[in-house]
Amino acid sequence: MSTLVPRGRRPQNLTIGRVGVYAFLATAALFFLLPLWIMVMTSLKPMDEIRLGNILALPAALTVEAWSKAWSSACTGLECNGISVGFWNSVRILIPSVILSIVAGAINGYALSFWRVKGANVMFGVLLLGAFIPYQVFLYPLVRIFSMTGIYNSLTCIVLVHVIFGLPTMTLLFRNYYAGLPIELFKAARIDGGGFWSIFFRVILPMSTPILVVATILQVTGIWNDFIFGLTFAGRENLPMTVQLNNIVHSTQGERAYNVDMAATMLAALVPLVVYFVSGRWFVRGIAAGAVKG
């Protein structure tokens, strides 16, 4: 029996087995890192080098020209203002969508888990089922409704769509979190004469920091990465970065500038990557809370 393992499961000596474990993990890590490496390398090379050289190799003549071109002058269809247009559109979509969907989720979750409103659980059940239904089932009637009300193809429209389709996850997230809070807290506040909103703002909201962080991570990455809603509802003026990226990649005339494509791709991936690396374990917790805990 080994004496080395207070916490572990098996002895920790460097056996063939251990080497095998690390070899497997390292190989897997290479597979996962490969596309990122290739993207970064390609984006830093001039086109001549891409055509002749090795796709994995470090750039011989390092240049950030592709990045500046991708940012400010790459063509998305007829216009050639780069992906920066999409970046700022995404920011303008992101901020109100994230805030409003979190507010809606928090209020819903609070009302559902502390106040027994008639029919609320039925509503919640339908909402949750809605989360599993493919968006294609709702899109066309929704387009008709928005065009009838005159806000189709606008910033308002895309923000509303994000809030609507964020409702199931956000409500579920907050409902589950609030269901875990001690009910006595709520009862005490009720005895003290607190009403719906005063309890929410004075008691519940101050305790919600962890779930607010999780919700923000979830919504920022989710909304930033959205493609289908932006394509359908945002209108030409407000196309988000993902749609612009797709346009840049697929609409280049003549020879494709792979370095510019890859620089644009990296730029589009940057925000969620930063969120991911900064948030670390919270990111996993977000996915888990949004989906696993039911």
Binding positions for other proteins, 227-266, rule CB under 8 A: 227-228, 232, 242-243, 245-246, 249-250, 258, 261-262, 265
Q: Taking the complex as a whole, how short is the minimal distance between the CB of residue 166 and other proteins, in angstroms?
A: 11
Contact 108, 170 (CB under 8 A): yes
Q: Taking the complex as a whole, how short is the minimal distance between the CB of residue 102 and other proteins, in angstroms?
A: 14
Which 155-214 positions form the footprint of other proteins (CB under 8 A)?
A: 164, 167, 171, 179, 183, 186, 195-197
What element of type H or E holds 17? helix 16-43
Please state the length of the chain: 294
Query: Six-digit token pair at 145?
Result: 């409704």
Query: Six-digit token pair at 216?
Result: 């923000």
Q: Dmax over Cα atoms in the chain, in whole Å? A: 77
Does 215 interact with other proteins (rule: CB under 8 A)? no
Q: What is the Cα–Cα distance from 39 to 37, expressed in whole angstroms? A: 5
Query: Over the range 129-153, which residues count as b (16 or more CB within 10 Å of their CB) and which as e?
Result: eeeeeeeeeeeeebbeebeeeebbb
Among 136, 148, 150, 206, binds other proteins (CB under 8 A): 136
| Residues β-bridged to residue 79 | 76
Q: Taking the complex as a whole, how short is the minimal distance between the CB of residue 122 and other proteins, in angstroms?
A: 5
Contact 60, 53 (CB under 8 A): yes
Does 19 interact with other proteins (rule: CB under 8 A)? no
Q: Which stretch binds other proteins (CB under 8 A): 59-67, 71-79, 206-214, 225-233?
A: 225-233
Q: Taking the complex as a whole, how short is the minimal distance between the CB of residue 213 and other proteins, in angstroms?
A: 16
Count of helices and strands (H, E) across the chain: 14, 0
Which 94-123 positions form the footprint of other proteins (CB under 8 A)?
A: 104, 107-108, 110-123
Which 38-97 positions form the footprint of other proteins (CB under 8 A)?
A: 38-39, 42, 50-51, 54-56
Q: Which stretch binds other proteins (CB under 8 A): 59-67, 75-83, 150-158, 277-285?
A: 277-285
Among 102, 158, 159, 268, binds other proteins (CB under 8 A): 268
Does 134 interact with other proteins (rule: CB under 8 A)? yes
CB neighbours of 16 closer than 8 A, spacing ≥ 6? Answer: none
Which residue is it, tokens 């490496």? 37
